[in-house]
Amino acid sequence: SWARKRRPVMAESPPAAAGGLSAITGLRLRAHEVAVQAPMCAVHDGHEIIRVFGKVPQGLVEVVVPGLITADGLAVMCERLEQAAASGVTVIFDDPFKLLLAGEPAMVGMLVHRLERGLSATIRFRRASSLVAFTFNPSYPAFDGTTYRAASLDAGAGRAVLAAVVTIPVVDVKADGIARVYDACFSPDR
């Protein structure tokens, strides 16, 4: 029936017709002469990767992963690239922070290492990231052997030590509040 949701079909097109990297909203697999473009998907999990990699073009040279990818999706991508004997592929993610959100950091790191070393993949990002502020929270839970209690460092001294070794703003989250972090991240002079 027309009321049922249907998954959009992936389109195959020459690479030139696929547009620039910033225009890609769905997972894209590109070979020398053809590109497979999936419809927009905000989170690429294992099921999405299986579906898209069902159409791996011969001579794959590039995989563009817009949005988030889960650790499961990254693991399936590694498996599918290994099965396709796709060595030397360039894998392009939005930015490094999307990988940080993929799942448990050690697992994600292992999978990225697997891409780089096992498949000789080149990892690239559509957007560069930069460290714009360092947050400092002087409060911490102190453990006395049986329970935790609230404790804090000397905020002024801790902030001064950090400020002496970094060239970006050091924000004391407790004293300065979140507005200072926001200002450091989104100021017009960045």
Q: Burial-class residue 150 by CB neighbours within 10 Å (0-12, 13-18, 19+).
A: exposed
Rg (alpha carbons) of the chain, rounded to whole number: 22
pTM exceeds 0.85: no
pLDDT (tens place) for every residue of the chain, 190 residues total = 333 333 333 333 333 333 456 667 788 888 888 888 888 888 889 999 998 888 788 889 999 999 899 999 999 999 998 888 888 899 999 888 888 899 999 999 999 999 999 888 999 998 878 888 888 888 899 999 999 999 988 988 988 999 999 998 888 877 888 888 788 777 766 5
Beta-bridge mates of residue 136:
172
